Amino acid sequence: MADTERRTVPVIDPRTGAKDFDLAVADAAEVQAVADRLRRNQPAWGAMSIEARCAVLGRWAALIDGKYRQPIIDADARDTGGGQISHIAPDMMLGILRGLMAGAPAMLAAAKREGTARSNPAIAYRSVIKPYPLVGVIAPWNAPTMLSMLHAIPPLFAGCAVLVKPSEVTPRHADPIRASIAEVPELAAIFDYVVGDGETGQALVQVADYISFTGSVPNGRKVAEACARRLIPNDMELGGKDPLIVLGSADLDDAVSAALRGAVTSTGQVCFSIERIYVDAAVHDEFVARLVDRAKKIALNHPDPTQGQVGPFISRRQAEIVDSHIDDAVAHGAKIVEGGKSFSLDGGLYMRPTVLTGVTNDMRIMREETFGPVMPVMAFKDADEAVALANDTDFGLSAAVMGGSEEEAAAVAERVDAGNVSVQDAFLTFHAAQAESDSFGASGTPRRAGLARYFRRQALLINSGKPTCLTTEMLAAAE
């Protein structure tokens, strides 16, 4: 099919609301062709020693840290409207790469087993690591570089080929990454992208041996069902509705700092953003006053995307969702004490950091993923009620607890049903990849630790003696 005949989808500039360009959608045949090429090359990559793979990936890391650092930042910023995470995207990539360059050899060595069978000392066993030939990564539109690389880089160390499908909302960041990959021939042979919309993602599920998906709960269910039909493994990182618990003994200035950073970074469009704040009734009013005062000082990054802390919504649809949550809360008795609904500046949709009081746990803004810079604050009477409110959710991705001491906060944190719980801060999930946590509830699926999810172990069972004859066994039993 000629390029002029290919189906396209519009890509919108989040800062202007105008169409930037038309993205040609990769169809099933194109996805299959790329997958076939990567599969053909994967055995050589998988057969390399882990030290050799680390050396190849180290060359790629050097390119990211040098020639491609600014192009990656610029492309991610064009995708997202210039959020803070864009400016650290290369460093996030490098953190994953360098961490695994240091740790992957030990991880793979620890995964192997060797010994003698307890039932027969003549039988020995040893493990062989078998990487999944092709890992498919379906990435989201928020923090596109960071979240795609978080799931694309580790299987490379395990010996897999990797094919990434970025969101059609934010496809630009793929261009400099693909250009950097092309400069490392061994990597280019087993690592590539296909671009398109949901149909392209569906095609990827049909050709991969393992799927890593990051996105919404409804789409995650669709992907999981498709994987189940093919009986292929997958991991799901889905939505969040992260609570922050502020105990009465907490330093309120620190709690406000944690709340603002956790809720407002990247306009709240992060899966582990703080979306619910529960504050001890004794300090609730003082906390809200300080939060409002600090929120007023937060600046939009308009008209200069390099200034300010809050950028535009990446997607117009997301702004509509956030507005609907605010409307529902106000209709049911909540009060906006700072900020408000989204508004347009030069075609982009922005929202000031927004604080609501008078919320209850049955409001949409406390139950559904909001994905915006909104901070609904609710009082609690004691730690038991705070934990009950925090756990009253379908989600369980992350959470945070602020207390008078680390020990007090940690004791409450252990009672919260979430995969990562920040103690004496919020939004620490960025730093916790090596913690190997699992998501709770609808926020995702439990995963095997480290690199182990990307390979299967084969056991070689070796008999150093003679095979036992069946008739000899029968005679011995009869005697």
Q: Is residue 31 a contact partner of residue 207, using CB atoms and an 8 Å limit?
A: yes
Q: Is residue 51 a contact partner of residue 105, using CB atoms and an 8 Å limit?
A: yes
Question: Cα angle at 335 between 334 and 338, to 5 degrees?
Answer: 135
- C-alpha 100/C-alpha 105 separation (Å) is 8
3-class SS at 141?
Answer: coil
Which residues is 459 bridged to in the sheet? 127
- C-alpha 285/C-alpha 352 separation (Å) is 21
- C-alpha 334/C-alpha 181 separation (Å) is 50
Give the active site residues: 237, 271
Q: Is residue 25 a contact partner of residue 8, using CB atoms and an 8 Å limit?
A: yes
Question: Cα angle at 267 between 264 and 271, to 5 degrees?
Answer: 85
The count of other CB atoms within 10 Å of the CB of residue 46 is 19
3-class SS at 34?
Answer: helix
- C-alpha 135/C-alpha 327 separation (Å) is 41
> Omega into 303 within 30° of 0, i.e. cis?
yes
**What's the length of the chain?**
479
Residue whose tokens read 């398109």? 196
Question: Cα angle at 253 between 251 and 259, to 5 degrees?
Answer: 100
In terms of phi and psi (left: phi > 0; alpha: psi -120 to 50; beta: otherwise), the region of 333 is left
- C-alpha 328/C-alpha 205 separation (Å) is 37
Residue type at 420? Answer: N
